[in-house]
Amino acid sequence: YIDMEMITLTINGQTVQAPKNATILEAARSAGIHIPTLCYHSELAPEGACRLCVVEATGARTLVASCVYPVAEGMIVKTNTDKVRAARRMVVELLLANHPKDCLACQKSGDCELQNIAADLGLRKIRFEGGARKAHTIDASNPCLVRDQEKCILCGRCIRVCRDVQGMSVYSFAERGFDTIVSTAFEQDLGKVECSYCGQCASVCPTGAIVEK
């Protein structure tokens, strides 16, 4: 943080110094304070899509997504209150309501961020039934990758890594609401699009939605 203008805030009662344009998440992590995340990836631009990283912050009317919310001088942040934990549990419960329950047979099992977060939050039963999400078939047409959109949590990491790191832009969001998907152009199979087979999308996917063959 040399040559950066620093500000001081308080996180969970601890005084923390952070660069003026840092996010709450960056400030917390630099102070060794854990905030769970899903759509955030340290190598990619933050998107604020999943809301798992919510915290309480003075000056904000509601809970804020710490991965995109900037720090401010004198701000008081609480990352682990009852309200925050309840909101995080709800985020994950709603994701699980819409997620296949085949963890045991999933290639990502044991290395799945959604599974790990559900375990960390102590979620032991699924309270909600999924909504009207469309059924998708598994796409194994690509020589290197297998896509199972039923397992997609719409975090957008694959979109960002393919566009911003690899410069290919194979994926983008399409449709709205329950029908929202990560789509290739014209929803073509992954074997038919201009994929460079780099595997970055599989490596950043937090679930089993994109895996390597």
Comparison of 15 and 42: residue with beta carbon closer to ligand FES: 42
The residue among 30 and 107 lying less far from ligand FES, judged by its C-beta, is 30
In whole angstroms, give the CA distance from residue 62 to residue 108.
34
Cβ–Cβ under 8 Å, residues 97 and 128: yes
Minimum separation from the CB atom of position 41 to ligand FES (A):
9
Here the tokens at position 57 are 């912050």
How near is the Cβ of 26 to ligand FES at its closest, in Å?
12
Query: Can you tell me the distance from the alpha carbon of 139 to that of 147, in angstroms, rounded to the nearest whole number?
Result: 5
DSSP 80-104: S-HHHHHHHHHHHHHHHHTS-S-GG
DSSP 68: T
Which lies closer to ligand FES via its Cβ, residue 195 or residue 201? Answer: 201
Distance of closest approach, residue 182 Cβ to ligand FES, in angstroms: 15
Distance CA 41, CA 29 (A): 13
Looking at the Cβ atoms of 18 and 190, the one nearer to ligand FES is 18
Q: How many CB atoms lie within 10 A of CB 96?
A: 21
CB 37, min distance to ligand FES, A: 4
N residues, the chain: 213
Measured from the CB atom, the residue of 54 and 195 that comes closer to ligand FES is 54
- Please, which residue, 40 or 171, has the CB nearer to ligand FES? 40
**What does R_g of the chain's alpha carbons equal in angstroms?**
18
The minimum distance between CB 51 and ligand FES, in angstroms, equals: 5
Closest among 164, 169, 139, 153 to 38, alpha carbons compared: 153
Q: Which residues bind ligand FES (CB under 6 A)?
A: 37-40, 48-53, 65, 67
Structure tokens at 1: 């943080």
Q: What minimum distance in Å lies between the beta carbon of 67 and ligand FES?
A: 3
Amino acid residing at 31: A
